[in-house]
Amino acid sequence: MTEEAAITRRVSRGPWATAMHRLARDRAGMAALVMFAIILALCLLAPVYAAWAGVNPFTSTLGATIVLDGNTVPVMEQSTEGLGLGYNPIGPTWELGNYFLGADNQGRDVMARLLYGGLTSLLIAGAATILTLSLATIVGLVAGYFGGLTDIILARILDVLWAFPVYLLAISLSIVLIAHGFEIGPITIESGSLWLPIFIIGIVYVPYVARPIRGQVLSLRESEFVLAAIGLGVPSHRILLRDILPNVSTTLIVFVPLMMALNMLTESALSFLSIGVQPPDASWGTIIQDGQGLLYSRPWVALAPGIAIVLCVLALNVLGDGLRDALDPRSKIRLGGG
Amino acid sequence: MKKWLLAGAAAALFSLGAVAPASAEYMKEHRGGTMRILAHQAGGTIDPHINYTLQYWQIYQSVYDGLVNFQKADGADGFTKVPDIAEAFPEPTNDGKTYVFKIRKGIMFSNGKEVGVKDVVASLQRIFKVSSPTAGGFYSVIVGADKCLKEPKTCTLEGGVVGDEAAGTVTINLTRPDAEIFDKLALPHAVILPADSPTEDVGSNPLPGTGAYMISAYDPNKGLTMVRNPHFKVWSEQAQPDGYPDVVNYDFGLTEEAEVTAIQNGEADWTLDEIPADRLAEIGTKNKDQVHITPLTAWWYAPMNTRLAPFDNVKVRQAVNFAIDRNALVNIFGGPVLAQPVCQVLPPGFPGHVDYCPYSKDPGAKWSAPDMEKAKQLVEESGTKGQKVTIVPDDRAVSKAVGVYLQSVLTELGYVADVKPISTNIQFTYIQNTNNKVQISVSQWYQDYPAASDFLNILFGCASFTEGSDSSINISGFCDKDIDAKMQAALALGVTDQEGANKMWAEIDKAVTDNAAAAALFTPKHLDFVSKRLGNFQFNYQYYWMVTQSWVQ
């Protein structure tokens, strides 16, 4: 068989299959995916772990005792040396189901809270990512496609929003909303609800995604297939959904893990500052804050969620890079703020 | 007074006694040097008529003087009042409504001018002109105060404060007898300042005083410096003794952790801030000789809004009191060495205090254990089970931990409870304002001066409640006409019979406790961590550690 014949017989892969094939060959990307999947699976098992360990990670158990090496010991230990100052939670026992990572200052099992906290952090990061991408896509498509006054107005709104330092804006919104909740028309979010950090984080990053989407749409708007569709009288909404959106979808997919990582860091920062997830709920940020006061005596309370955040964000960033390389090797999208 | 304010107990119980041992021998040996003390942040305006923080009230003790003062003495002797700018305590006349103070001669301000009658009159007027936070609460009893409160800028206290330059006297006329007038005049809000002092908040520009030291520099972002007042001469060792260090540098900005390390390393001599929980065991063993622990007449409590469901039902409030494990809260605060559980309003050792605890497994004098069974029964009887309750602590570690613990208790009692920690900067005013509809919060009260009324009347008197105000210190909104009438009667009786009044206050304490307007949690103790070189540590129950009575060389 000649070489030419072989080429004509090869069945070409579709763009998605090609991308997945590229991703599968990216060892770092796959390792990140596996790591993220393991973290997610462990967090999803939080209720199972708590039930197995027989602990309630949201209730104070200051007077509780556990059996350790055959001895019954209190979860909170009174210092007996010197002046007898201080009352410390038990440290890591390294026995799964038995205060593996020790207790926090309310006598709660840190391991169980770590898993529940991860679940909350991932939930907020995921939901905020969906919110950000949805709003950014709408704004980017409309601004880029319609241009003119619509573009000027939307682009300037994005500029104004992006002119605020992200964390400063998020902290300001949180301080205002955490106390009284949020109410606009039929939409009511009570203070303390997880929807508040989701809403806040989701909003502050809209310009970060919308601006590159708008740029892409501006370019696509002038492409021949779009001009042809306009010339044929295809309605705008149909051009946006059928012709333009599919062409920006790879960019959106690349943004998913990157935004997840960014949102997770923002959530942790807000919760650490007491303006994100509210007690007794747990997130990795709140657990770090709980551990801050125990840094000298029980460092694992803060270290464990810190390590979890590092691993998770690392995995998501590497996965994001892998996806970008797989879906659009020529893309210039990089994480780093706008 | 709110947290970081003052501690106390019974002035009447304590006699004149130990005076700071600023003896000539000690002075010769230890006088001089520079002391470095630390605080995470500044305490706000430096104006003594406005500032209402322990942080600066403590500093003012060696900078300013009032007509009378609390004695600069160790322990409970610090509650004893002594004449200061005034030569002596005047005898009340006009049925206890008039006091004539004779002003000492020869006392100099740090600007070199001598204190005169006009300075005293102007200073008392200035309390109102600068709208001192206690102008209405403490000094409204002075004749003319009503008008001054309405029109502060033109305040003259006409008929209320009368100076006589020739006789060197100042007469204070009251609208009614006030057993606590000397306590109030001894507070920093009534210190004597030069007559030409600005009649507005001076912010970060220190005003001249008459004490052994003067504030030479103040930058809220960096620190405060005190140096010796070049015009100071001792006129009363009890009221204003000389100090040991030549200079006191008060530096702001370090974290609490860094402050502890600085003291351990000998780079600083003391910190205002609470020692972080994770450093307590360490300093209690490695640095135990540098630790001083002193009981306070203060109160950690959880005010319950008696005007909002479910706490408008007394059974619910009592249930919360029965359900709380006060030992658990003591442990959150640092263990039994640093706090003790209480059930009632008046702290141990305070005038009118008689041990009383109806909210215990074994009701009696002292708290022993929670009674969750009784608590749940009361909640059932109230028919409020399942209602939503939000607890509002501030966002400091201990307060938030107490809030989280209370959330667990309320959940166990059958409520849908959540916690909403609020920034410490705003929590205290937030929980006072009825517009915020706070159901239950976590708060603290530290005495202004040693009198039962400073707890009971201030925190639970009808006059202390104002709808929709950030200054409604009766956070529970508790107002029982009968109890309030008894408070007014006890205040009146105190003018002539303090012992009889204290017995009345004990009964009032029981009545307020039975009505459970708040859940009493514990009485804290104060921990001072000092450098190895710091000597002659003395803790005055009224104003805490006497900074300049310690030496550093």
pLDDT digits (tens, 9 = 90+) for B273-303: 988 888 998 999 999 999 999 988 899 999 9
pLDDT value at A337 more than 70: no
Question: In Å, how far is A85's CA from the nearest CA of chain B?
Answer: 5
- The DSSP line for A124-146 is HHHHHHHHHHHHHHHHHHHHHHH
Write out the E strands in B435-529.
440-441, 443-446, 518-529
| pLDDT single digits (tens) A96-124 | 999 999 999 899 999 999 999 999 999 99
**Which of B276, B284, B331 lies nearest to residue A83, judging by beta carbons?**
B284
Q: List beta partners, residue B340.
A: B523
Q: Provide, for chain B, the percentages of residues in helix, strand and coil under a 3-state DSSP scheme, each rounded to the nearest 5.
A: 30, 20, 50
- The DSSP line for B129-195 is HTT-TTHHHHSTTBTTHHHHHHSGGG---TTTEEEETTTTEEEEEBSS--TTHHHHHTSGGG----T
Contact call for residues B315 and B382 (beta carbons, < 8 A) = yes
> Alpha-carbon distance A196 to A224, whole Å?
43
In chain A, which residue's Cα lies nearest the Cα of B285? Answer: A82
Across the interface, do A81 and B281 touch by the CB < 8 Å criterion?
yes
Contact call for residues A258 and A265 (beta carbons, < 8 A) = no
Chain B touched by A65 (CB under 8 Å):
no
User: What would the mean pLDDT of A160-172 be, rounded to a whole number?
Assistant: 88
Residue B467: exposure state from Cβ atoms within 10 A (0-12, 13-18, ≥19): exposed
Tokens found for residue B329: 């809260």
Across the interface, do B293 and A83 touch by the CB < 8 Å criterion?
yes
The dihedral through the CA atoms of A278, A280, A286, A292 has a sign that is: positive
Percent of chain B with pLDDT strictly greater than 90: 80
Q: Left (φ > 0), alpha (ψ -120 to 50) or beta: where does B110 sit?
A: alpha
The candidate with the shortest Cα–Cα distance to B81, out of B548, B524, B498, is B498
**Which of A60, A82, A295 lies nearest to residue B285, judging by beta carbons?**
A82
Q: For A279-309, b where at least 16 C-beta lie within 10 A, e where not — what string?
A: bbbbbbbbbbbbbebbbbbbbbbbebbbebb
Across the interface, do B328 and A82 touch by the CB < 8 Å criterion?
no
Which residues from chain A sit within 8 angstroms of residue B404, using beta carbons? 60, 106, 279-280
The three-class DSSP label of residue A77 is strand
Across the interface, do A87 and B331 touch by the CB < 8 Å criterion?
yes
Of A277-291, B316-330, B367-381, least confident by mean pLDDT is: A277-291
Which residues from chain B sit within 8 angstroms of residue A113, using beta carbons? none
Chain B touched by A296 (CB under 8 Å):
yes
Average pLDDT of every residue of chain A: 89
Residue B369 DSSP class: -
**Which of B331, B397, B418 lies nearest to residue A278, judging by beta carbons?**
B418
Across the interface, do B281 and A88 touch by the CB < 8 Å criterion?
yes
Range list of H helices, B31-97 = 54-60
A262 falls in which pLDDT band (50, 70, 90)? very high
Question: In Å, how far is A100's CA from the nearest CA of chain B?
Answer: 20
**Which of B328, B337, B401 lies nearest to residue A85, judging by beta carbons?**
B337
> Alpha-carbon distance A106 to B328, whole Å?
9
User: What would the mean pLDDT of A298-326 be, rounded to a whole number?
Assistant: 94
pLDDT value at A234 more than 60: yes
Tokens found for residue B526: 């104060």
> Alpha-carbon distance B438 to B303, whole Å?
10
In chain B, which residue's Cα lies nearest the Cα of A291? Answer: B278
The one-letter amino acid at B74: D
> Alpha-carbon distance B67 to B186, whole Å?
7
Question: In Å, how far is B376's CA from the nearest CA of chain A?
Answer: 18
Of B224-233, B306-315, B395-404, least confident by mean pLDDT is: B395-404
Residue B9's pLDDT is what?
Answer: 33
More confident residue, B381 or A176: B381
| pLDDT single digits (tens) B431-441 | 999 999 999 99
Q: Provide, for chain A, the percentages of residues in helix, strand and coil under a 3-state DSSP scheme, each rounded to the nearest 5.
A: 65, 5, 30
Chain B touched by A79 (CB under 8 Å):
yes
Across the interface, do A179 and B430 touch by the CB < 8 Å criterion?
yes
Residue A7's pLDDT is what?
Answer: 54
B3 falls in which pLDDT band (50, 70, 90)? very low
Residue B17's pLDDT is what?
Answer: 38
> Alpha-carbon distance A19 to A23, whole Å?
6
More confident residue, A191 or A55: A55
Tokens found for residue A43: 């967090």
Across the interface, do B411 and A81 touch by the CB < 8 Å criterion?
no
| pTM check: above 0.90 | no
ipTM: 0.78
Residue A189's pLDDT is what?
Answer: 82
A4 falls in which pLDDT band (50, 70, 90)? low
pLDDT value at A95 more than 80: yes
Percent of chain A with pLDDT strictly greater than 70: 93
pLDDT value at B4 more than 50: no
Label the pairing between strands B223-228 and B213-219: antiparallel
Across the interface, do B325 and A59 touch by the CB < 8 Å criterion?
no
Tokens found for residue A221: 């708007």
Across the interface, do A83 and B285 touch by the CB < 8 Å criterion?
yes
Which residues from chain B sit within 8 angstroms of residue A277, using beta carbons? none
pLDDT value at A90 more than 60: yes
Which residues from chain B sit within 8 angstroms of residue A190, using beta carbons? none
Q: For A27-48, b where at least 16 C-beta lie within 10 A, e where not — what string?
A: eebeebbebbeebbeebeebee
| pLDDT single digits (tens) B410-462 | 999 999 999 988 888 788 889 999 999 999 999 999 988 899 999 999 999 99
User: What would the mean pLDDT of B112-139 be, rounded to a whole number?
Assistant: 94
Question: Which helix or strand (DSSP H or E) is residue B100 part of?
Answer: strand B98-102
Between positions 191 and 220 of A, the ones with CB within 8 A of B are 191-192
Across the interface, do B335 and A86 touch by the CB < 8 Å criterion?
yes
Range list of H helices, B290-395 = 314-323, 326-333, 372-382
Residue B8 DSSP class: -
The candidate with the shortest Cα–Cα distance to B402, out of B392, B412, B389, is B392
Question: In Å, how far is A255's CA from the nearest CA of chain B?
Answer: 34
